[in-house]
Amino acid sequence: MKNAVNLPVLLLALGLFSCKPFQFSELKPGSPLRNPLPALEPVLLGSTPTPYGPPLPPPVFQDLNVVYEREVKSSLTRAGGDRYGYAVCRVIAERHRPGALWLLSSAVLLFTPNLLGYPAGQSRRWMEVEVEVFDAQRRSLGRYSGYGQAAVPVAAYWGYAPDDAARASSVRAFKAALSDIKSQMDRDADRLSSGLRAGGPV
């Protein structure tokens, strides 16, 4: 009886150890603005409590900070030269669901299908993000908010392990929200560039 109980656990463990590792390509920036802004200093808030909520968990903050710095330097602005202000980012709201229904269906089948790549779970993430652009005098030139969501499977071979799936869903939802914001900033690019240059370099 004891061996029968341990078998599903062993099968699940074998399946999860076969998951692919977190792909650092997840941290690549998205497509650039058509009219990039003058260089800005990227600032991501969230390592400490804010009026918007508790701090982001350190691993999540580190990933999002890498993504945001790359987005600002490679996607939002022109590379190099003087910096003309700040791009301050906040995660306004965030919600996560681990996809317990997948795990329940796997348990009913004693986790055997998971060895063939059937998902054992899913990390679903919703995120609201805000970016505010300040000139060198710290005057606000524009505030933009965007929404992103992502679903990342927990599965052997082609999916992630639970922790890495949660990590990837955070990054993907954040990048989707930034993409929403960038489309808004693109329409405002001329006005923002003029305001930043009028304020002079930092």
pLDDT in tens, 67-107: 999 999 999 998 778 999 999 999 998 888 876 555 565 55
More confident residue, 160 or 201: 201
Query: What's the pLDDT band for 62 if we cut at 50, 70, 90?
Result: very high
User: pLDDT grade, residue 1 (50/70/90)?
Assistant: very low
pLDDT at 174 over 50: yes
Place of tokens 């600032």: 43
pLDDT in tens, 126-158: 999 999 999 999 999 999 999 999 999 887 676
Query: What is the count of structural domains for the chain?
Result: 1
pLDDT tens digits, residue range 8-58? Answer: 444 445 445 556 777 778 888 888 899 999 999 999 998 666 555 667 788
First to last CA, the chain: 70
pLDDT value of residue 197: 95
**Structural domain range at position 104:** 2-198
State both tokens at 37: 């802004």
**Total-model pTM:** 0.81
Distance CA 50, CA 53 (A): 5
SS (H, E, C) 88-104: EEEEEEEEEECCHHHHH
Instruction: State the pLDDT at residue 126.
Output: 94
